[in-house]
């Protein structure tokens, strides 16, 4: 059971919005949001994980999905938004510095 919990935690952190925007390069985060065709123009570095998750929710519907059965808010993104909020709060001093030094992550 302990091993399964550790594997679940590792998988969730790999897709975590905070990890995508803070630990990886700006180009990588920008490319992921462009691939999802999000309507966000930029992601501020302060609480960037939560913003990244909301940008993933605010994206175009894929062409091969029926509009009546399309669900853009899966449970995984909602759970990730909560986890990203907690992690973003812990990283707040660093992200405030990065926002001041580098500005927001530009998408378009």
Which residue matches tokens 């999802």? 36
* Domains of the chain, residue spans: 2-106
Query: Is residue 86's pLDDT more than 70?
Result: yes
Selection from 2, 13, 7, 5 nearest residue 87 by Cα: 13
**What residues does 106 pair with on adjacent strands?**
42
Please check the confidence at residue 71 and state whether its pLDDT lies above 80.
no
Confidence at residue 3, expressed as pLDDT on a 0 to 100 scale: 76
> What pLDDT does 1 receive?
73
* Dist CA 84 CA 54 (whole Å): 11
State the CB neighbour count (10 A cutoff) for residue 47: 22
| Integer angstrom CA distances of residue 5 from 2, 8, 66, 68, 86 | 5, 5, 35, 35, 19
| pTM of the full structure | 0.79
Instruction: Report, as an integer, the average pLDDT of 57-78.
Output: 72
3-state secondary structure at position 9: helix
């Amino acid at each position: 059971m302990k091993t399964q919990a550790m594997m679940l935690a590792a998988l969730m952190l790999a897709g975590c919005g905070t990890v995508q925007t803070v630990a990886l390069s700006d180009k990588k985060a920008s490319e992921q949001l462009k691939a999802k065709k999000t309507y966000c123009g930029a992601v501020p570095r302060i609480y960037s994980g939560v913003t990244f998750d909301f940008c993933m929710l605010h994206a175009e519907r894929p062409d091969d999905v029926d509009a009546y059965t399309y669900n853009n808010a899966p449970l995984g993104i909602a759970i990730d938004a909560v986890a990203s909020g907690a992690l973003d709060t812990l990283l707040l001093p660093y992200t405030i510095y990065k926002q001041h030094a580098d500005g927001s992550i530009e998408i378009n």
